[in-house]
């Protein structure tokens, strides 16, 4: 193994599937407040988040979905950056039977969230090995900016992961979208230097996936051998293909992903039942 692997501080997870299929869930953009009764664009994020967790548990009990090997929360856990909001996130995640790993979004405070989540026993590990896959959680957050960027250290971690585990398939988890999703107002708040990330990914001969939050909608596209995925938020949704800010009528949701040892993946977006949570469609921003 390349000595540089020590920089990754790797956490090893054994797949529960006997065929080494890695099962994971993406739960993203919970936008929680210190006040559980706080409203955001017509939706109470605590209650929509709680409904998503309940639906996941119901699907597991009904065996519609397998128990996840782990959960990825891809940023904007909080809306108001308070310790209390992160403790609420921990309360939600404690109901699920799988370990949770996280990264910050543009609405988060990295220092506050790490302190709160660590206190609650949620790992801050950022490099996972599970079966034939490695997962790298990257920080694209820039203080006081809505758009994102990967600094030199984060880019170096991608190169390190590829060099250290050249035969493992790679899933990168980020907050900001690395490809345009077709919303003009939202795509100006993307991952500004995604081209640098993409150039590094082209060195890797195994399968490559980039999973993001931020866009509050489902997205699935393959470009230059890389699969790009995004998931609905657990609260309000942004209307796809809208040049101006607009909310969508689709319900809060999450994404389930199965990663196969040969590099294939299967994935499905799940949502709450219709009219479970209806946002304020007159909103022009937040």
Question: Mind listing the pLDDT tens digit for each residue in 20-32?
Answer: 999 999 999 999 9
Query: Is there a domain that residue 278 lies in?
Result: no
Res. 2: pLDDT tops 60:
no
pLDDT of residue 4: 46
Please give the pLDDT value at position 1. 43
Given a cut of 80, whether residue 268 has pLDDT beyond it is yes
Q: Give DSSP secondary structure letters for 102-121.
A: EE--TT--HHHHHHHHHHTT
Specify the pLDDT at position 266: 98
Q: Is the pLDDT of residue 133 over 70?
A: yes
pLDDT tens digits along 175-214: 999 999 999 999 999 999 999 999 999 999 999 999 999 9
Interval 64-99: pLDDT, tens: 788 999 999 999 999 999 999 999 999 999 999 999
Q: How do beta strands 219-223 and 208-212 pair? A: unpaired
pTM to 2 decimal places: 0.95
Is residue 160, in this structure, part of any structural domain at all?
A: yes
68 in any annotated domain: yes
Domain-embedded: residue 279: no
| CA–CA gap between residue 110 and residue 70 (Å, rounded) | 21
In a domain, 151, yes or no: yes
Give mean pLDDT, residues 267-274. Answer: 96
Structural domain contains residue 281: no
Q: What is the mean pLDDT of residues 43-63?
A: 94
Domain contains 233: yes
Number of domains in the chain: 1
Enclosing domain of residue 73: 3-271
- Any domain includes 59: yes
Give the pLDDT score at 202: 96
Give the whole-angstrom CA distance, residue 43 versus residue 74: 20
- What proportions of the chain, in percent to the nearest 5, are helix, strand and coil? 25, 25, 50
Residue 137 pLDDT more than 50? yes
CATH number at residue 257: 3.60.21.10
Dump pLDDT digits (tens) for 113-124. Answer: 999 999 999 999
Asked if 247 and 210 touch (Cβ cutoff 8 Å), the reply is: no
């Amino acid at each position: 193994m390349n000595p540089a692997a020590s920089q990754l501080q790797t956490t090893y997870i054994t797949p529960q599937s006997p065929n080494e299929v890695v099962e994971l869930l993406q739960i993203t953009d919970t936008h929680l407040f210190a006040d559980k009764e706080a409203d955001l664009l017509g939706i109470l994020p605590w209650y929509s988040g709680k409904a998503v967790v309940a639906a996941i548990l119901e699907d597991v009990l009904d065996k519609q979905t397998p128990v996840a090997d782990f959960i990825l929360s891809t940023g904007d856990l909080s809306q108001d950056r308070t310790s209390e909001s992160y403790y609420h996130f921990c309360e939600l995640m404690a109901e699920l039977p799988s370990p949770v790993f996280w990264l910050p979004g543009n609405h988060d405070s990295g220092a506050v969230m790490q302190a709160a989540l660590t206190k609650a026993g949620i790992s801050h590990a950022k490099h996972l090995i599970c079966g034939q896959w490695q997962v790298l959680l990257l920080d694209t957050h820039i203080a006081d900016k809505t758009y994102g960027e990967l600094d030199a250290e984060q880019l170096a971690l991608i190169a390190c992961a590829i060099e250290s585990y050249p035969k493992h398939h790679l899933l990168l988890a980020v907050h900001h979208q690395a490809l345009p999703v077709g919303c003009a107002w939202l795509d100006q708040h993307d991952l500004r230097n995604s081209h640098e990330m993409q150039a590094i990914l082209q060195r890797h001969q195994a399968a490559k996936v980039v999973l993001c939050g931020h866009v509050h909608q489902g997205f699935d596209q393959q470009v230059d051998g890389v699969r790009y995925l995004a998931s609905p938020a657990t609260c309000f949704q942004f209307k796809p293909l809208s040049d101006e800010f607009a909310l969508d009528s689709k319900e809060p949701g999450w994404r389930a992903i199965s990663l196969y040892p040969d590099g294939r993946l299967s994935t499905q977006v799940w949502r709450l039942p219709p009219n479970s949570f209806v946002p304020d469609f007159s909103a022009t921003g937040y």
